[in-house]
């Protein structure tokens, strides 16, 4: 257990002096919890007797159950105010609010004469039985505990009695016993003083350590206080910077909001303008859609008409192709007949020339035969002329038929391509359609079909034109007389 602490500001300090009339006197607070025993020339406290070897106190004023340790405990010795003592002593020793009364008279500062007839220790029971009861210098009566007032009165009577000289009733044994008891008490007090000095030194060391810790704590507190002030300054600066930054951000946000609001208004106006233009465009597109629908219907009707005309033209082309084949076949047969007639005429001329030679050879045989031969030659000559005339007429008829066929085919081809009447021409009908109407038509499929049909018709027309040109070139090269118009 730790020794009880002693408050530096509340614990009084006492000095035991050798003055007869003095009580415990206070010493300054710079020496806490110290008791100094006065050592003047008349004091008996500085005796040379050695302390008890067993380390026991020789004070008999307190029983073993009534001993009190007075470190830190308040001790009050209250003298009765009615007692005529000139210097009443009141001792108050406090430590941490704990107070008790110490009734040990060993704490009183008395001279050698005042210690006579007194004892700080109760005598053993054997001594009490042998020794008479003391009427002075004793702090308690036998078998009864004295109060503070009674103790003070006994001290006063004892001091008064000793000052007036020894009583005649005191004997030599009592004086000797008092001297021995006094020496023992002095030794006990010296031992207690040493113990108190040790305790005081320990308490002084503790106080020094406490002061050092207090100084360090104070320095640390000052450093921490300075740091706190510095941190408070930094906090204020940070708050000021944060407020400035916040104001700057708020200003930026306000400017940004104003700019965004202005841009929003501009966008709304632009959107309204675009909406109006889109509405106008939508109305125009609806009108254009209705117009295009009507135009598509018209184009569909015209396409149907063109398809019908195209079918008719295809039928005519097919018929022309059949007629062309028939004319070619007729021309081939006529050519074959002409070649056969030529061969027959050549053979007939050869036979007749042979017969003529035979007749000339036989002319010399007789004149009668000559006359018959002459008549026969004339007949044969007339037959040859008739045959030539017939062959020529057949050739002319053949040429006329070929010329008619070619003229008719050429006229039909020209009528098909260009047409005698421009209103019935397919090319005129295609040219009648304006380019703008063709571009504005939305029916791409119909236009594609029309373009395809037109391309096919143009290819067919080009093929027919090439074919007719080839026929005309053949006629011009081989039979130019067929192209001449004969007048009968």
If phi > 0 it is left, if psi is from -120 to 50 it is alpha, else beta; for residue 96 that is left
pLDDT score, position 258: 94
Residue 91 CA to residue 105 CA, distance in Å, equals 12
Global pTM value: 0.23
**Taking residues 150-176, what's their average pLDDT?**
54
Evaluate whether 29 touches 16 at the Cβ level (below 8 Å).
no
pLDDT tens by residue, 125-138: 444 444 444 444 43
pLDDT score, position 221: 93
pLDDT tens by residue, 102-127: 333 343 344 444 444 443 444 444 44
pLDDT score, position 275: 94
CA 402 to chain centre: 98
Instruction: Give the β-pairing of 14-16 and 35-37.
Output: parallel
Residue-range domain boundaries for the chain: 14-170, 314-483
Give the percent of the chain with pLDDT over 70. 49
pLDDT score, position 461: 73
In degrees and rounded to multiples of 5, residue 37 shows phi and psi of -90, 125
pLDDT at 306 over 90: no
Residue 447: which residues within 8 A CB-CB, separation 6 or more?
Answer: 299, 438, 441
More confident residue, 298 or 334: 298
pLDDT score, position 106: 40
With H, G, I as helix, E, B as strand and everything else as coil, classify residue 14: strand
CA dist list (Å): 436 to 17, 432, 440, 455: 145, 11, 6, 20
pLDDT score, position 245: 93
pLDDT score, position 151: 59
Q: Read off the pLDDT band of 243 (50, 70, 90).
A: very high
Evaluate whether 57 touches 191 at the Cβ level (below 8 Å).
yes
pLDDT score, position 226: 94
Q: Edge to edge, what strands does the sheet with 14-16 contain? A: 25-26, 14-16, 35-37
pLDDT score, position 233: 94
Q: Read off the pLDDT band of 272 (50, 70, 90).
A: very high
CA 103 to chain centre: 84
pLDDT at 235 over 90: yes
pLDDT at 392 over 50: yes
> Which of 143-152, 158-167, 208-217, 239-248 has the least mean pLDDT?
158-167
- Residue showing tokens 């004339």: 378
Average pLDDT over the chain, rounded to an integer: 65
pLDDT at 82 over 70: no
Give the burial class of 100: count Cβ atoms within 10 A of its Cβ; 0-12 exposed, 13-18 middle, 19 or more buried.
middle
pLDDT at 339 over 50: yes
**Taking residues 451-475, what's their average pLDDT?**
75
Closest CA to 32 of 205, 155, 183: 205
pLDDT at 280 over 50: yes
Rg (CA), the chain: 86
pLDDT score, position 428: 54
More confident residue, 238 or 342: 238
pLDDT at 292 over 80: yes
Give the burial class of 345: count Cβ atoms within 10 A of its Cβ; 0-12 exposed, 13-18 middle, 19 or more buried.
middle
Closest CA to 77 of 150, 152, 15, 11: 152
Alpha helix ranges (H) inside 364-425 = 367-417
pLDDT tens by residue, 46-58: 333 333 434 333 3
pLDDT score, position 278: 92
**Taking residues 213-220, what's their average pLDDT?**
92
Assigned token pair, 217: 């704590």
Give the burial class of 353: count Cβ atoms within 10 A of its Cβ; 0-12 exposed, 13-18 middle, 19 or more buried.
exposed
pLDDT at 3 over 80: no
More confident residue, 46 or 393: 393
Q: Read off the pLDDT band of 431 (50, 70, 90).
A: low
């Amino acid at each position: 257990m730790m020794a009880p602490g002693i408050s530096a500001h509340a614990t009084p300090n006492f000095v035991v002096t050798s003055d007869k009339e003095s009580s415990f006197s206070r010493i300054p607070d710079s020496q806490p919890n110290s008791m100094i025993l006065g050592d003047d020339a008349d004091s008996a406290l500085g005796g040379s007797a050695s302390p008890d070897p067993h380390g026991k106190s020789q004070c008999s004023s307190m029983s073993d159950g009534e001993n009190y340790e007075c470190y830190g405990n308040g001790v009050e010795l209250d003298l009765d105010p009615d007692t005529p003592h000139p210097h009443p002593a009141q001792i108050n020793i406090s430590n941490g609010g704990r107070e008790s009364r110490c009734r040990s008279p060993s704490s009183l500062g008395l001279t050698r004469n005042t210690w006579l007839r007194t004892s700080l220790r109760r005598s053993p029971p054997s001594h009490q039985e042998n020794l008479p009861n003391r009427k002075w210098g004793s702090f308690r009566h036998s078998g009864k505990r004295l109060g503070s007032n009674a103790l003070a009165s006994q001290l006063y009577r004892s001091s008064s009695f000793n000052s007036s000289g020894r009583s005649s009733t005191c004997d030599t044994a009592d004086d000797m016993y008092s001297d021995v008891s006094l020496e023992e008490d002095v030794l006990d007090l010296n031992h207690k003083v040493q113990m108190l000095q040790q305790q005081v030194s320990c308490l002084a060391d503790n106080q020094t350590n406490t002061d050092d810790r207090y100084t360090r704590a104070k320095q640390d507190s000052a450093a921490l206080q300075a740091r706190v002030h510095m941190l408070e300054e930094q906090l204020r600066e940070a708050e000021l910077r944060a407020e400035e930054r916040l104001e700057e951000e708020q200003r930026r946000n306000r400017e940004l909001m104003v700019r965004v609001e202005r841009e929003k208004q501009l966008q709304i106006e632009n959107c309204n303008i675009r909406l109006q233009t889109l509405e106008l465009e939508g109305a125009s597109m609806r009108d254009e859609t209705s117009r295009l629908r009507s135009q598509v219907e018209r184009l569909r009707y015209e396409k149907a008409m063109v398809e019908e005309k195209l079918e008719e033209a295809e039928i005519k082309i097919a018929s022309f192709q059949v007629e062309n084949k028939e004319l070619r076949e007729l021309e081939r047969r006529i050519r074959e007949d002409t070649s056969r007639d030529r061969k027959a005429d050549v053979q007939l001329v050869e036979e007749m020339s042979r017969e003529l030679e035979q007749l000339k050879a036989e002319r010399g045989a007789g004149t009668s035969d000559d006359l018959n031969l002459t008549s026969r030659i004339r007949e044969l000559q007339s037959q040859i002329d008739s045959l030539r005339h017939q062959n020529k007429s057949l050739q002319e008829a053949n040429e006329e038929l070929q010329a008619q066929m070619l003229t008719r085919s050429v006229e039909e081809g020209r009528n098909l391509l260009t047409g005698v009447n421009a209103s019935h021409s397919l090319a005129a009908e295609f040219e009648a359609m304006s380019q703008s109407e063709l571009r504005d038509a939305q029916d791409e499929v119909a236009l594609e079909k029309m373009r395809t049909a037109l391309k096919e018709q143009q290819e067919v027309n080009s093929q027919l034109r090439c074919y007719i040109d080839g026929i005309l070139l053949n006629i011009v090269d081989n039979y130019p007389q067929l192209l001449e118009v004969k007048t009968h």
